[in-house]
Structure 1
Amino acid sequence: MEPVDYERLARDVRSIRERVAAVRAGAESPDGLISAVVGGSGELLELRLDPRIYRTADAAGLSADIVGTVRLAAGRARAECLVLAWSTVPTGPGAEPTDAGFDPVLRELDQRITGGGGR
């Protein structure tokens, strides 16, 4: 890469970081009694519990519904962040296939195997 490409890449990464920080994704439980909003880093920002949840005394069920709703919101936020990140991945002829989930792990393994450091 030429120095100009590094500068562009640095700008792109800063832009993605700002856009990820602005991500807000929400989800609602199937019964509509629970809603959650999660940020781009997966942090829970809002949790709304409809007062009707108190009509049944099922703490385990309520917990499971809350966790499920938050996980759904987090999955949506993660998907939105991946779309943002993919905007900087090279495409076209000569571009290596990229797997955002496994590439960091494979890179770490390569470094350990070749003695390139790592943790």
Structure 2
Amino acid sequence: AKLRQQIEILGNTNRNLLGEGISHMSQKDLRQLEQKIDKGHAKVRKRKEDAMLEEIDKLQRMERQLQQQNEYLRATIMESQCNQNTNLLLPHAEYDALPAFDSRNFLHANLMNPTHHFVRQEQTALQLG
């Protein structure tokens, strides 16, 4: 019996908080209901503000982290560009170690063209002398 009574009271309270069934309430009961609603609203507003502040803090930390990554990447790019510019200006031993160009090892671009793979046998012989 007590449990049913508590369930009924909670149901009435919920309906009252939703604005239902308040037409028969006294001025005093309406004032108390309004205070409950105001307190609940203040708690909800406070929790919402706290959640927003937590989110702002998280986003600011993420922003700082991204700025640090950007600075690192910019420095890396600048260093790479400086190294490229230095490499263009100064000869290196590895370039000096490359073999000199030998035209016998050179494959002419026209020989690589697929339309010139087969040479016709009917061409006239080359005459020297």
TM-score clears 0.5:
no
Indicate the structure with greater helix content: 2
Structure number with greater CO (CA < 8 Å, separation at least 6) is: 1
Q: Which protein is richer in strand relative to its size? A: 1
- Rg (Cα) greater in structure: 2
